[in-house]
Structure 1
Amino acid sequence: MPVVRADLNTCQGYANCVLAADDIFDIDDSGTVVLLRSEFPDTERPRIEAAARTCPVAALVVEQ
């Protein structure tokens, strides 16, 4: 099952990922990404990869 990982030190809180997939990503009070769930089915992979690509600082990675 694919997983998404977030580099909390890199995240700048742009929240593009939240706009693209608010069931996976959120932003906490300090402006850092929060993973609401890290694993997701293969059928959601294109959507989650697209959301990860919206991050301007490349803080998100989708892995198998």
Structure 2
Amino acid sequence: MSKTVHLDEEECIGCASCVEICPEVFQMKEGDDKAEVIKPEGGPEELIQEAIDTCPVSCIRWEE
């Protein structure tokens, strides 16, 4: 089983750092100041990991 990207939108503060780092996987939710995952199957793992490490509220994680 491969891992997927999960973002807890309730915890998200809308800093958009994940969108800036990896726009092919994350985007800002329209009409809301929160990010969302648009490609849960992932993309460049090193960029997703950088987004995970950069998130100030640690609301992004890998799920198996």
**TM-score normalized by the length of structure 1:** 0.83
Contact kept, 8 Å, 1:21 with 1:51, in 2: the verdict is yes
Q: Give 1:45 shift.
A: 1.8
| Structure 2 runs not aligned, ≥5 long | none
Contact kept, 8 Å, 1:18 with 1:27, in 2: the verdict is yes
Q: Which runs of 4+ in 1 moved over 2 A?
A: none
Contact kept, 8 Å, 1:2 with 1:45, in 2: the verdict is no
Q: CA RMSD in A?
A: 1.4
| Structure 1 runs not aligned, ≥5 long | none
Superposed counterparts of 1:47-58, under 5 Å: 47-58=47-58
Match of 1:13 in 2: 14
Aligned length: 62
Report the residue type matching 2:19 in the other structure: V
Superposed counterparts of 1:6-45, under 5 Å: 6-28=7-29, 29-40=31-42, 44-45=44-45
**TM-score normalized by the length of structure 2:** 0.83
